[in-house]
Structure formats: C-alpha cells, structure tokens
C-alpha cells in the first residue's frame, strides 16, 4: 500500500461539503501516523458551504465573513493543500493532472502540474444541467460557484439602482427556473431582500416593481419531497406575491422572455437556472473511469470506482446505486456528509487490508429554508412515516445543519465562539450587503 518513500499518499480532490469534512476527519484520525500523507486539491482558495450560496447571491450572507481559507485550515488541521483544477488522470503512473493557475486577465500564475497519489478520492460536486436548452448558456445565471452567486448579487443590485434612478418604471422580472430546494430557497430569500431594500430607502424597489416567479416542469414544487411540504411551500410563496408556474417545461430562453413547451411566454429580465444537476465534464476524461449519463463517476457501495479500486468518488459527482432498486443517492449535503464519515472508516480498513464497509443512504429528512421568516420540512423518524415541521423549529433545525458542518471543520468550541461572534456582529451591522 505504500510507495518507495514508505508513505501512503491520500489525495482528495474537491474541498466542498463532503471533501473538506473528509480531509479534516482523516487528518485528525491519522495525526500520529507520519507514514500517511493527506492532500486536498481544490480549484479555489476558500470554502463556503454550498447550501448557503443562495444567501451569498441575495447579499444576506457576506462571503468574506464566512469563508474558510484552505491554506490556513490545512495548517491548523494537519493536511496539505494544493491549489489546482483537476483536468486529467493517469492511472498507470498514479498521477492526477492539474491545469495551470490563470488570473482574471488570463496571465498564467503557475504552470500545469502532476500530483502523485496512492489513493485518490474525487469529490468535485456538480453543476447545473441546462439539458442543452437553447438560450440557457447565453441568458441565464446559475449558482454553480460562489463567484456566480456573487455575480448575481452584483447584477441584482445594479438593476435595483437602475430602477431607483430611472424615470421609466417598467417592472423587473426575475425568474427562477427549477422548483427544487435551490430555486425555492433563492426566490424566498430574494423576496425578503426586496422588502428590506425598500425599508432601507430605495423607494422604487418593492413587490410591484420587482416581480419574482418560479417555474417548475412537474405538477408541484419540491417534487422529491412529500406533497404536504410542497403545499406548505406553495402557500407561503403565493402569500408573498411570488408567481408559481407548475407543469411548464422550458423550451427556450430568449432575450427578456422564457418560452415554455406548453405555449407560455413569461417575461424575464434576469433568469437563474436551477433545474437539475450534472457532474463536471472533466470526469468523462479520467483515463476510462466509468460515468453515467450525467457525467457522475459510477461507484460500488464501497464508493470505489467500478474500474479502479484505488480511486473512490462521493458526493454529487458520484453515482452510487443503492441495493434494492438501484436508485441513486440524491445529490445532497446530507449524503456527502454521511459518505465522508464512512470514508474515514473505509480508509482505515483499506490501509489495514481488511474488508471495506458499504454505504447505505439514510434519509434523515429535508428542510427547506424560506428565508429567516420560515422553514418547512420533514424529519424521518424511526416510527413509520415522517415528522412534518414548519416555522421556528424547522428554521432552527436548518441552522443546526450548517452548525454541524462547521463543527466538523472547526471543532465544537470554535463553532460556539464563531456563533456568538456572528450574533454580536449582527447586532451592530445590518445583515444585508448592499454593495
Ligand atoms: C443554493 C443551494 C442550496 C442547497 N441546499 C441544500 C440543502 O438545504 N440541503 C442539502 O442537503 N443540500 C443542499 N444543496 C446541495 C448541496 O449543496 C450539495 O449536495 C453538496 O454541496 C455536495 O457536496 P460535494 O462535496 O459533493 O460538492 P460541493 O460541495 O459542490 O464541492 C465541490 C468542490 O469541488 C471543487 N471543484 C470542482 N471542480 C473541481 C476541479 N475540476 N478541480 C478541483 N476542484 C474542483 C469546488 O471548488 C468545490 O469546493 C444545495 C445546493 C445549492 C446550490
């Protein structure tokens, strides 16, 4: 299992919801084993938990206050960080290829590199699936990265500024395509922000001038969850004046309009595409590793890729069929978290040469945040059925999910101090970023 230097190199690519938890736990577990070296590779320098990106997009979460810098984190937790984008793989020589580091002006800061591994774990997440629908790439924004969330925030503020200082009072139509968790959470948060901006002094910004809509192709929002949750969410969003289109499949996006297969033309000045996911294309170019139709690496229940047992994949970028019905594990932070915990045990067994544990998805329920005012969700319980939750309790449990992630990365005490510090900061600083 070791190389000629008597060191086993575990390389994890992707420091997101799953990858960063995994390297943190591995580094703690193998702290005293000098012959095990853990390296994290990410194409960014910092991490923000992805389920918070819609708050970055609306300006209710300041990215600078909530980022974890990988270099600092690796220093304090005992692993190595390598900045780079995975672009290829050589399984024979056991090396990954990292692309050059290029700045915004196109200047090459560092050349392309190779990084050797003994065990490779891939957790590079997912991006939005545009299903090759005409106009999506041209006219839509998405929340595929923190930068895109920040870009949406900048454009949104610019459009608000234009409206505030313009004579021409045409409404601004913001449309979210995709009635899943991302779309619903984003539209609810935007609604709250519009109200707040009005309160802070931009008088032209209100529910009549900024029109929010959400489009879903199936017959209800949050199709993957229980109908009771969809109904509660529908009622909440409708009461806020958000237009909900169901049974509308987007056929094309045009300048200022969305055309549906059912014949509607929906006015749209800003469109956010949040309808389904696919894994990054690079996974289809990894030296013959098997991928499914949406580019996810196909893995066994041990999370080993089907083609190479020294390569593991998990989180959104992996397709891990579950035993009974071959149903895939859903692309959720919850699954990435569970798989990261399992992979710590897996690595111990793998290095000891014993049988690897298998992954079984445990659905602990889903919580959907409807901005700070509300949350709705279901918690799976051990008694038959599930527990429906709404309001403050659901909001609190949603917040706890993030705190659980923070506690894995920072430890319990730091998380407690950070929470207190954030609470105090919010008392002296508005929670909305307007620049
Ligand atoms: C707005 C929004 C709200 C959500 N809300 C919820 C929720 O409430 N509950 C829930 O369970 N799930 C939610 N999700 C889904 C959840 O965020 C994902 O399922 C989860 O983040 C997947 O974790 P991951 O580790 O697989 O990937 P990610 O967290 O996406 O991390 C991938 C990492 O890989 C890096 N990377 C990507 N490509 C490369 C490359 N080529 N080379 C090097 N590094 C690379 C990225 O920089 C990133 O750090 C939400 C998603 C969004 C967008």
pLDDT at res. 397: 81
The average pLDDT across 365-380 equals: 75
Cα of 34 from ligand 1 centre, angstroms = 31
Considering only residues 66 and 305, tell me which one the structure prediction assigns the higher pLDDT.
305
Mean pLDDT of the chain: 91
User: Predicted confidence band at 61 (pLDDT cuts at 50, 70, 90)?
Assistant: confident
Region 285-308: mean pLDDT is: 97
Could you tell which of 125, 178, 233, 368 is best to mutate to test the pocket of ligand 1, judged by most ligand atoms within 8 Å of the CB? Answer: 125
Q: What is the pLDDT of residues 118-139, one digit of tens each?
A: 999 999 999 999 999 999 999 9
Which of 3-12, 158-167, 343-352 tops mean pLDDT?
343-352
φ/ψ (deg, to 5) at 404: -65, -45
Residue 202 predicted with pLDDT over 90: no
Say yes or no to pLDDT of 385 above 70: no
**The pLDDT of residue 360 is above 70:** yes
63 closest CA partner among 50, 51, 48: 48
Decide if 337 contacts 17 (C-beta within 8 A): yes
Distance (Å) from CA 399 to ligand 1 centroid:
17
Question: What is the percentage of the chain residues whose pLDDT exceeds 90?
Answer: 70
Question: Which residue from 49, 14, 278, 5 is spatially nearest to 120, judged by alpha carbons?
Answer: 14
Give the atom of ligand 1 at the shortest distance from the alpha carbon of 332: 19
What pLDDT does residue 120 have? 98
**Tokens (6 digits) for 45:** 């320098």
Q: Is the pTM of this model over 0.75?
A: yes
The DSSP secondary structure of 118-146, one letter per residue, reads SEEEE----EE--TT-TTHHHHEE--SSH
Mean pLDDT of 150-160: 94
How confident is the model over 417-424, as a mean pLDDT? 87
DSSP 281: G
> From the CB of residue 306, how many other CB atoms can be counted at a distance below 10 Å?
14
Is pLDDT of 2 > 70? Answer: no
Q: Take atom 4 of ligand 1 and give the residue whose Cα is closest.
A: 51
> Using 50, 70 and 90 to split pLDDT, how confident is the model at 94?
very high
pLDDT at 381: 54
Determine how many CB atoms are found less than 10 A away from the CB of residue 40: 29
Q: How confident is the model at residue 384 (pLDDT cuts 50, 70, 90)?
A: low
pLDDT of residue 328: 86
Distance of CA 199 from the midpoint of ligand 1 (Å)? 33
Please give the Cα distance from 432 to 35 (Å, whole number): 47
Task: Check whether 363 has a pLDDT greater than 70.
Answer: yes
- 327 versus 309: which is more confidently predicted? 309
CA of residue 10 to ligand 1 center, whole Å:
21
- pLDDT for 203-243, tens place per residue? 888 888 999 999 999 999 999 888 988 999 999 999 999 99
Separation of CA 264 and ligand 1 centre (Å):
33
| Residue carrying the six token digits 């707040």 | 196
Q: What confidence tier does 373 reach under pLDDT thresholds 50, 70, 90?
A: low
Q: CA 54, CA 146: separation in Å to the nearest integer? A: 9
CA of 408 to the centre of ligand 1 (A): 16
Phi, psi values for residue 231, rounded to 5°: -65, -45
Please state the φ and ψ torsions of residue 292, each to the nearest 5 degrees: -95, -170
pLDDT at residue 1 tops 60: no
pLDDT at 4 over 70: no
Confidence band of 201 (pLDDT split at 50, 70, 90): confident
Q: Which atom of ligand 1 is nearest to the CA of 126?
A: 30
CB of 179 within 6 A of ligand 1: the answer is: no
- Residue 21 near ligand 1, beta carbon < 6 Å: no
CA dihedral over 151, 334, 410, 126, signed as positive or negative: negative
The whole-angstrom separation of Cα 214 and Cα 176 is 5
The whole-number pLDDT of residue 49 equals 93
What is the per-residue pLDDT for 388? 74
Residue 383 has pLDDT above 70, yes or no: no
In the prediction, which pLDDT does 170 show?
A: 81
The maximal CA–CA distance of the chain, rounded, in angstroms, is 73
* Cβ(180) – ligand 1 distance below 6 Å: no
| Structural domains of the chain, ranges and CATH numbers in brackets | 8-126+279-352 (3.50.50.60), 131-275+364-435 (3.50.50.100)
Q: Contacts from 65-74 at CB under 8 Å and sequence distance 24+?
A: 65/422, 65/425, 68/20, 68/409, 68/410, 69/45, 70/15, 70/20, 70/40, 70/42, 70/44, 70/45, 70/46, 71/45, 73/20, 73/24, 73/47, 73/409, 74/23, 74/27, 74/40
Mutate to test the pocket of ligand 1, among 40, 46, 51, 187 (most ligand atoms within 8 A of CB): 51
Burial 403-425 (b: 16+ CB within 10 A, else e): eebbbbbbeeeebeeeeeeeeee
Ligand 1 centroid distance, CA of 17 (Å): 6
Percent residues over pLDDT 70 in the chain: 96
Q: Which residues pair with 115 in a beta bridge?
A: 96
The answer to whether residue 308 scores a pLDDT higher than 90 is: yes
Ligand 1 atom closest to residue 98's alpha carbon, by position in its atom list: 42
Q: What's the pLDDT score for residue 3?
A: 62
Query: Tell me, what's the pLDDT at 433?
Result: 76
Would you say how long the chain is, in residues? 435
């Amino acid at each position: 299992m070791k190389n000629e230097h008597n060191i086993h190199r575990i390389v994890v690519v992707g420091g997101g919801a799953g990858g960063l938890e995994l390297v943190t736990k591995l580094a703690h577990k193998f702290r005293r084993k000098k012959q095990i070296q853990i390296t994290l590779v990410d194409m960014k320098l910092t991490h923000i938990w992805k389920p918070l990106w819609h708050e970055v997009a609306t300006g209710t979460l300041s990215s600078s206050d909530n980022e974890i810098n990988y270099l600092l984190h690796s220093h304090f937790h005992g692993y190595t960080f390598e900045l780079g984008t995975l672009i290829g793989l050589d399984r024979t020589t056991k090396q990954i290829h990292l692309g050059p580091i290029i700045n915004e002006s196109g200047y090459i800061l560092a050349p392309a590199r190779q990084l050797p591994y003994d065990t490779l774990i891939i957790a590079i997440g997912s991006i939005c699936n545009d299903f090759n629908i005409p106009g999506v790439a041209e006219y839509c924004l998405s929340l595929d990265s923190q930068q895109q969330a920040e870009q949406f925030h900048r454009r949104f503020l610019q459009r608000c500024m234009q409206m505030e200082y313009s004579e021409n009072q045409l409404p601004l139509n913001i449309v979210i395509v995709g009635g899943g968790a991302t779309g619903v959470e984003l539209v609810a948060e935007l609604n709250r922000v519009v109200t707040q901006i009005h309160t802070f002094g931009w008088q032209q910004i209100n529910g009549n001038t900024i029109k929010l809509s959400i489009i879903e192709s199936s017959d209800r929002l949050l199709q993957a969850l229980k109908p009771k949750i969809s109904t509660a969410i529908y009622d909440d969003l409708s009461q806020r004046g958000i237009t909900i289109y169901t049974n509308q499949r987007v056929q094309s996006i045009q300048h200022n309009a969305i055309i549906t297969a059912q014949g509607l033309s929906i006015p749209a000045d800003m469109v956010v595409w949040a309808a389904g996911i696919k894994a990054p294309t690079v996974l289809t170019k990894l030296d013959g590793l098997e991928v499914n139709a949406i580019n996810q690496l196909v893995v066994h229940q041990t999370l080993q890729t089907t083609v190479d047992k020294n390569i593991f994949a998990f989180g959104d970028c992996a397709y891990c069929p579950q035993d009974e019905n071959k149903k895939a594990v859903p692309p959720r932070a919850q699954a990435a978290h569970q798989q990261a915990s399992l992979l710590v045990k897996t690595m111990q067994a793998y290095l000891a040469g014993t049988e690897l544990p298998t992954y079984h998805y445990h659905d602990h329920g889903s919580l959907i945040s409807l901005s700070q005012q509300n949350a709705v969700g279901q918690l799976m319980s051990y008694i038959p059925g599930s527990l429906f939750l709404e309001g403050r309790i659901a909001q609190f449990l949603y917040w706890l999910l993030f705190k659980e992630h923070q506690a894995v990365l920072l430890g319990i005490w730091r998380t407690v101090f950070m929470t207190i510090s954030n609470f105090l900061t919010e008392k002296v600083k508005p929670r909305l970023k307007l620049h």
